[in-house]
């Protein structure tokens, strides 16, 4: 039967569903490639020095593909930070959960240190985001929310651990210890950005975290 002039024939529901599935999968791949390309470009040049065209060129897409996924570079930058920050929070929580109800502090410190020191490119992008957030209150709230999630993962694990030595009084309870862990990471990675000594930073961070969470000897009291 002929269709009305100017109208497309309706697709069967099954075919329409397959088409939508293909579009959705393609869009997911496109978004992922844009995020990966943006990570490389932001790490190399810094946020504020990158154009949409540069991200598109690195990903192999047009501006149309960009705007079908993101409204602006700011939105892409938010998505990139959330992706990486969520991954790190999940990895930290996973590393802390491997001991079961007990907590082998030195082993946990080793695992968490390996996760937190992800790579220099991530630290560059994270620092760009921090500077950007310091000048934009709404952006700062996004960053604070992700830092709070990381601290909660640490604090929850410390609170549930059996046989853990009493934390130093100056830190208070598990929440205070979690703040101290994140602060230690911030300080060590600031030095790492300057001297690029990843192994030295890893050793120093392990020493700091061990001192914070034990009597400093490497084993709980």
Instruction: Identify the DSSP state of 162.
Output: B
Q: What is the pTM of this model?
A: 0.69
Neighbours of 149 (CB within 10 A): 16
How confident is the model over 135-179, as pLDDT tens digits?
A: 989 889 888 888 888 888 888 877 776 555 566 677 778 888 888
Q: What is the DSSP track for 91-106?
A: HHHHHHHTTTTB--HH
| C-alpha–C-alpha distance, residues 186 and 153, integer Å | 17
- For 52-107, write each residue's pLDDT tens digit: 999 999 999 999 999 999 999 888 988 888 888 778 777 777 777 776 667 777 78
Distances (CA, A) of 96 to 70, 85, 125, 192, 217: 35, 17, 25, 24, 20
């Amino acid at each position: 039967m002929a269709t009305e002039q100017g109208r497309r024939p309706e697709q069967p529901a099954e075919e329409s569903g397959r088409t939508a599935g293909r579009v959705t999968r393609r869009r997911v791949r496109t978004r992922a490639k844009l995020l990966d390309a943006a990570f490389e470009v932001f790490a190399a040049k810094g946020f504020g020095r990158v154009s949409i065209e540069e991200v598109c060129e690195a990903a192999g897409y047009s501006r149309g593909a960009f705007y079908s996924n993101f409204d602006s570079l700011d939105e892409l930058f938010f998505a990139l930070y959330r992706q990486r920050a969520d991954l790190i929070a999940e990895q930290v929580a996973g590393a802390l959960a491997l001991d079961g109800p007990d907590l082998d502090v030195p082993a946990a410190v080793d695992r968490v240190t390996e996760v937190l020191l992800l790579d220099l490119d991530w630290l560059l992008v994270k620092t760009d985001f921090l500077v950007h957030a310091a000048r934009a209150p709404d952006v700062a709230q996004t960053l604070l929310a992700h830092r709070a999630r990381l601290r909660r993962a640490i604090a929850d694990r410390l609170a549930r651990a059996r046989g853990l030595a009493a934390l130093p009084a100056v830190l208070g309870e598990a929440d205070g210890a979690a703040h101290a862990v994140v602060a230690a990471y911030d300080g060590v990675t600031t030095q790492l950005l300057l001297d690029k000594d990843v192994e030295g930073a890893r050793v120093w961070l392990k020493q700091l975290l061990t001192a914070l969470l034990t009597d400093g000897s490497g084993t709980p009291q």
